Amino acid sequence: MAQIGRVGSGGEPMTVLWAWRQAQLDQSADEHPPKPGPHQDPPKYSLAQEEPVDGPKAGDQGFLPQLQARLRESLSRGARGGTTDSAIRQIVQHLAQQETELHTAIAVDPAKAARGFAWLLEHFDQPGAVVPALARLSPAIDALIGPRGRQLELFGQALADAARAVLGDRWTEADVATWRDGWQFATGWLRQGTQLLQGEIPFWTGTVLVHDQRRHDLAVLSIGTDLPYPFRAGQRAIVECHQVPGMWRSCWIGDPPAGDNHIEVHIQAVPGDAATGTLVRDTRAGDPIRLHRAEGDFVIERGSTAAMLIVAEDIHVTPVKALLSELAGHGDDRVVHLFWGVSTRDDLYDLESLREHAARCVHATVHAVVARGPAHPYLSGSLPQVVVDFGEWTSYDVYLSGTPLAVGVIRNMLIQQRVDERRIHAVTLEPFVTQHRASSSP
């Protein structure tokens, strides 16, 4: 299994294809060569293709500075103000109007994409730096485009078309070969990056935009990802912070997809666990972060007209927020009773946001339940007992979210109250991912 270093501390431009988090970005490839996985050869300065292709041939290292110079010269002819950066920005503006997954990613933040293209051009003659950069994004790229590998080819053609549009009548036949060769090298390096992580679980790189510690043991993080991070309302993300590399932790996602490459995750520190403790107490805005593919199937069944009872324990109310937004978006007019149970009144860290999500629904009511100490103006007592005593739920669809123990207790009490167990849907979240994932994480 390939061993990939920890997420770097940044400073380099982030972008769809070429943002990378290696702390030693500014050091030479000779000082820090990429580490190959077991039984793999280190990346060569080549196209990484098994068969000959048109254009530059594998191993032609001397060609790279020449191609870099040709790309710069081509861009300079389309530059406003005499800088290649301005031409790159114009090209990115054209790319953002296209229709593939990669174009969609560019459209989210064209300025970031432009910085990344500029970084690639600056390092085009340094494959030892570019290949590890792409290695850190290649799993996510593969997950996004899946078997639709032709998207890379289409993107390369769109890149050349955008350059042609920017250059206008200054476009030449030599430019055709220049941009074709440049994209061939980029896709070849992407393949080499993929080989470094062959067999690894896909991960996404991102940045902590906001770190809000709401309680001594709990924080809400807003994360911006470099590539679109696919997930559904009610799912959880698997997160790794750069301070504790290789330790991945399950975290609830608090909002439905918004199409802006931003997600909100809620993390609770587990006593004795360095990873969750660091994410809650020592992570800051600007820190790099990585995420595995979202997991979970906590969904509200569509098609039912029955009222809903939702019972959530402490931090496990997080996915319910996303589900309430989804209900509101669909115009679902069912009656919803949501009970949120916490230990003390001070633990109601997200009540206002929860109420805002509920207010968007047609008929949703939030009941806060405090187990110990002063409870006014909220309900007081044990969450399962309060729910059972509050009303008669036999005609309701029931959704439970919490630790396995809490969910089990509430479920059994509802069944004793003659709620059909087939109407009860439960989801639990353990704070640790499986040993398999932890041991094979990049």
Could you read off the pLDDT of 195-205 as tens digits, one per residue? 666 656 678 88
Looking at 199, 217, 247, the residue that finishes a domain is 199
Range of the domain at 242: 203-297+434-440
Residue 116 and residue 93 in one domain: yes
Residue 30 and residue 81 in one domain: yes
Residue 19 pLDDT: 32
pLDDT band at 35 (very low <50, low <70, confident <90, very high): very low
Residue 274 and residue 420 in one domain: no
Q: Give the total number of structural domains in the chain.
A: 3
Residue 82 pLDDT: 56
Residue 171 and residue 222 in one domain: no
323, part of any domain: yes
Looking at 181, 199, 217, the residue that finishes a domain is 199
Q: Report strand pairing: 262-268 vs 218-225.
A: antiparallel
Calculate Rg over the CA atoms of the chain.
25
Answer yes or no: are the C-beta atoms of 184 and 124 closer than 8 Å: no
End-to-end CA distance of the chain: 9
CATH number at 250 reads 2.40.30.10
Residue 436 has pLDDT above 50, yes or no: no
Q: Which long-range contacts (CB under 8 A, 24 or more apart) does 412-418 make?
A: 413/384, 413/385, 413/387, 413/388, 414/387, 414/388, 417/388, 417/392, 417/393, 418/394
Residue 140 and residue 19 in one domain: yes
303, part of any domain: no
For the chain, give the mean pLDDT: 79
- Nearest-CA neighbor of 344 among 218, 432, 211, 210? 218
Q: How many CB atoms lie within 10 A of CB 201?
A: 16
Residue 170 and residue 289 in one domain: no
213, part of any domain: yes
Mean pLDDT of 377-400: 96
Residue 333 and residue 413 in one domain: yes
pLDDT band at 246 (very low <50, low <70, confident <90, very high): confident
195, part of any domain: yes
Residue 3 has pLDDT above 70, yes or no: no
Residue 99 pLDDT: 66
Mean pLDDT of 329-352: 95
Across-strand partners of 292? 203, 238
Across-strand partners of 250? 238
Answer yes or no: are the C-beta atoms of 142 and 194 closer than 8 Å: yes
292, part of any domain: yes
Q: Where are the alpha helices (DSSP H) in 35-137?
A: 63-77, 84-95, 101-108, 110-122, 127-135
pLDDT band at 170 (very low <50, low <70, confident <90, very high): confident
| Residue 406 CB contacts under 8 Å (≥ 6 apart), including other chains | 313, 341, 383, 384
Joined tokens for residue 184 = 């061939």
302, part of any domain: no
28 or 350: whose pLDDT is higher?
Answer: 350
Looking at 165, 183, 199, the residue that finishes a domain is 199
Residue 359 pLDDT: 95
350, part of any domain: yes
Residue 103 and residue 154 in one domain: yes
Residue 70 and residue 139 in one domain: yes
Residue 134 pLDDT: 77
* Helix H or strand E encompassing 241: strand 236-241
351, part of any domain: yes
Whose structure tokens read 């509920």?
A: 358
Residue 207 has pLDDT above 90, yes or no: yes
Residue 208 and residue 178 in one domain: no
Residue 55 and residue 156 in one domain: yes
pLDDT band at 81 (very low <50, low <70, confident <90, very high): low
Looking at residue 19, its amino acid is A
Query: In angstroms, rounded to a whole number, what is the distance separating the alpha carbons of residues 283 and 103?
Result: 31
Joined tokens for residue 440 = 């094979």
Query: What digits encode the pLDDT tens for the residues 286-313?
Result: 999 999 889 888 888 887 889 999 999 9
CATH number at 330 reads 3.40.50.80
pLDDT band at 53 (very low <50, low <70, confident <90, very high): very low
Residue 8 has pLDDT above 60, yes or no: no
Query: What digits encode the pLDDT tens for the residues 63-79?
Result: 888 888 889 888 888 76
Residue 207 and residue 195 in one domain: no
Answer yes or no: are the C-beta atoms of 108 and 228 closer than 8 Å: yes
Q: How distant, in Å, are the alpha carbons of 42, 123, 193, 195, 223 from that of 35?
A: 7, 19, 11, 12, 28
| Residue 103 CB contacts under 8 Å (≥ 6 apart), including other chains | 95, 96, 97, 155, 158
Looking at residue 342, its amino acid is V
181 or 57: whose pLDDT is higher?
Answer: 181
Phi and psi at residue 72, to the nearest 5°: -65, -40
Residue 199 pLDDT: 57
